[in-house]
Structure 1
């Protein structure tokens, strides 16, 4: 498929150019999981204590039970220091293409929400592919959500106001967790915050071809991540692939909690994310869709001072206030 990509916003393109110059060469898709992990490790991730600084937030590292027969899971709990009465809970799943990443990379995003909205955030560490292929990652994430729902009283969380959230692979896993919660009868979710979610292993959309060799998350990276998770089934439209691993394959998107779906207009996940929101609407469900003009994948992380990032952060906070009745 030969297609012309949507251009990057000029200021955001300058960020991409600076990232390329910083590495000494033009960005190239990693050919292996090891290369992808090495690339991810170059992005600075400050310690939790450094992120919190002087804010009125308490951080606690805990170990909780994993799925049946699986290892225990590590989580970080962020709580406002002064809480009166049960508050909403955010359950966060980090990104990394299903093969890399660490929960600490999302502490900056979560600490800002805890401070501004007065919520409790639980940040989960899950097993990564290919060492732990599907269903390990999504089952880990679902086990963590169940733990949160069972410990809401201890954490000072309102069990009727839980939102699952995540970006990229974490967004895809969040959508999978929401489907699992629906199909297994709980826990109750008030919403799902899906930030440029990784939803479809088939890679047949226009945007999945437009960013072949362009941007921060490119076609070859995406193919690699899905192969690591699903093996030979990845990309086979006729294969029996779990809808909890690849939520875009779900035939039924009814009965889901309200969704916030966000992507850039200049990224690979744009079309599958738009389609997911449309399919939720088609069932009579609620979805709020934002496609940010000229934005590349992960723009808010790499360009925190850009106007589109400020607009995106404001839209997310507005949606959270509405679904959590804040």
Structure 2
């Protein structure tokens, strides 16, 4: 698309064909920037900037569809939607489209191969093998952005889980979740002994997402709405080859049922807050360090793990555990955590 048409022999030359692809996007961007600079763009103002009527009609309609311009009734003037709001909404739409495109690429490839008679072995429609830890992590990040109803995640100490937790500890917005999404997080006790795990748990709790702990998760699972699930097997194969993304109804219902069972059988992890002040509950002095000890105790964590996560010595943990068990009348460590939760200490 050009803004002028040359004359040949005194007559107007045929208008060039409409631009497509990147060239069209560049024209859309240039008119958008022109509109932003004008503040209140009008048909006459855009003409004065060198745009012809055909371009103005086409591109302003596109920008209106993208939520970046609002036309008046006559269609000869436009209101610019505040750029920060319009651009972020546009980026969000593109991210959703990219995630959906990525999720359906394999299935479309299978359909195409079947249509052209490709002799290679086909994967079942709606089931995709993931080839690397990076691929698994990318799909998990995409599902966090894509989820609108629920995001249920059970994490074992897999290579992909460790990579994601490290990334989320050093970069903001790696695992975003929309407001209103039903989030459930279950963490394997083995994962709590790894770097970045507790900081991830505490950030999730601060965001209002319930966290539970379970021992012996066989592998990591993630369910995104009722549209996709990931079976992360990278703990068993650190390369990541062999993990799966499923989009078929049967596997999705199976993953949902398994995650529901894991959730019921797991132990709620109490919110651990650092207020810097102590409290007295049932006549027992209880500070934030003791709350953390009790919260980890309820998950079945070892003294060594509690010591590392609390920043105290193993001997101090042993003393505090004995003190708490005595005042709770608990015969076992796990019972102490349960009793504390029942009394509202956690």
> Normalised by the shorter chain, which TM-score bucket?
under 0.3
Q: So what's the TM-score if we normalise by structure 2?
A: 0.22
Query: Whose helix proportion is higher, 1 or 2?
Result: 2
The structure with the largest alpha-carbon Rg is 2
Relative contact order, higher structure (CA 8 A, sep 6+): 1
Q: So what's the TM-score if we normalise by structure 1?
A: 0.23
